[in-house]
Amino acid sequence: MYYVVLDLEWNSSYSLKSKSFINEIIEIGAVMIDSDFEVIETFSTIIKAQLGKRLTNRVKALTNISNEDIRGGVPFSKAFADFERWLGDRDVVIMSWGDSDVRVLSDNFLYFNNDERVPFLKKYLDMQKYFQHYYGLPSSKQIGLISAAALSGIDASEYSSHRALEDSLLELRCIKKIFNEEKIASFIQVCDENFYKKLKFKVHNITNLRDPHIDRSLMQCNCQNCNKPMQRLSEWKCVNQAFRALFYCRECSNMGLFTIKFRQHFDRVDTHSFFVKLEAPDEFPESG
């Protein structure tokens, strides 16, 4: 088995065809590793932009890639055909830091090549997910590459950040430190229909109170003072994509607004809730 760390740089370009912005890939960087995690070969290509002839200032500053560079780049189809040839017929796990690279990859293959699937993407591993699991970091907060390097005791300043190949080499170092073939195996995803469904799923906040994914048992508030269940005094109201209601404690007269947000992911719902105590009854005009 081989592992390939893939890192892409992209530029937000406006498409007249789809009348929307798309993240157009402008650079591919990749490192191929054998099953002992030793580097075999690297791959690096700048892609000739078809949509955005000019890079946004942000991308220019971030990557140091110039407009001249992308004008002289390799066209998308040829660049990825070269990449596929570079992979050869090896049994390869493609790895990236977070899944946004594969999401952009999939969008670009659909847009430029009319491919529903990325042909060389057969097995995938999200290194960020593995890294966070290894260090016991919460999945709700995603760790960036620079922070991950710092946590691993790696000096990221040796790498010119936000260039595809340099980033992939740095990602590789972060993962190599915690590489365990058995552990990592359970993070490898087969790129089947379900994988793409999950990839294209848009995470969103639930704003309809009747949504069946809402766990109503969580829409209850216990008093911070006496820990007794509080009584809801108002109807639920959707405010800033969260649900809010007025709660009152009969035991100790504690009163306040309880807010709960349900965030729908592909296979789970995350909740976030908080309580704001109200001191005097005239502070809550919604109570009536």
| Binding residues for Zn ion (CB under 5 A) | 223, 225-226, 249, 251-252, 254
Closer CB to Zn ion, residue 191 or residue 249?
249
User: Minimum distance between the CB of residue 251 and Zn ion, rounded to whole angstroms?
Assistant: 4
Closer CB to Zn ion, residue 31 or residue 257?
257
Closer CB to Zn ion, residue 185 or residue 252?
252
Sign, CA torsion 226/228/229/234:
negative
Closer CB to Zn ion, residue 252 or residue 276?
252
Closer CB to Zn ion, residue 94 or residue 230?
230
Instruction: Measure the CA angle with vertex 41, ends 36 and 42; round to 5°.
Output: 120
Quick one: CA torsion of 197, 35, 159, 7, rounded to 10 degrees? Answer: -20
Of 287, 263, 117, 265, the closest CA to residue 195 belongs to 117
- Residue 174 tokens, joined: 């972060």
Of 9, 5, 30, the closest CA to residue 105 belongs to 9
User: Minimum distance between the CB of residue 202 and Zn ion, rounded to whole angstroms?
Assistant: 40
User: Minimum distance between the CB of residue 242 and Zn ion, rounded to whole angstroms?
Assistant: 23
CA distance linking residue 258 with residue 273, whole number of Å = 7
CA distance linking residue 58 with residue 227, whole number of Å = 50
User: Minimum distance between the CB of residue 254 and Zn ion, rounded to whole angstroms?
Assistant: 4
User: Minimum distance between the CB of residue 283 and Zn ion, rounded to whole angstroms?
Assistant: 18
- Residue 249 tokens, joined: 């404690």
- Amino acid at site 190: V
Query: DSSP strand E in the chain: where?
Result: 2-15, 20-33, 39-46, 92-96, 123-126, 188-190, 204-205, 231-232, 237-239, 242-248, 255-264, 269-277
User: Minimum distance between the CB of residue 273 and Zn ion, rounded to whole angstroms?
Assistant: 17
User: Minimum distance between the CB of residue 223 and Zn ion, rounded to whole angstroms?
Assistant: 3
Closer CB to Zn ion, residue 8 or residue 249?
249
Closer CB to Zn ion, residue 58 or residue 250?
250
CA distance linking residue 261 with residue 215, whole number of Å = 11
Query: With contact defined as beta carbons under 8 Å apart, do 175 and 127 qualify?
Result: yes
Closer CB to Zn ion, residue 97 or residue 247?
247
Alpha helices in 156-235 (DSSP H): 164-176, 181-185, 193-200
User: Minimum distance between the CB of residue 227 and Zn ion, rounded to whole angstroms?
Assistant: 7
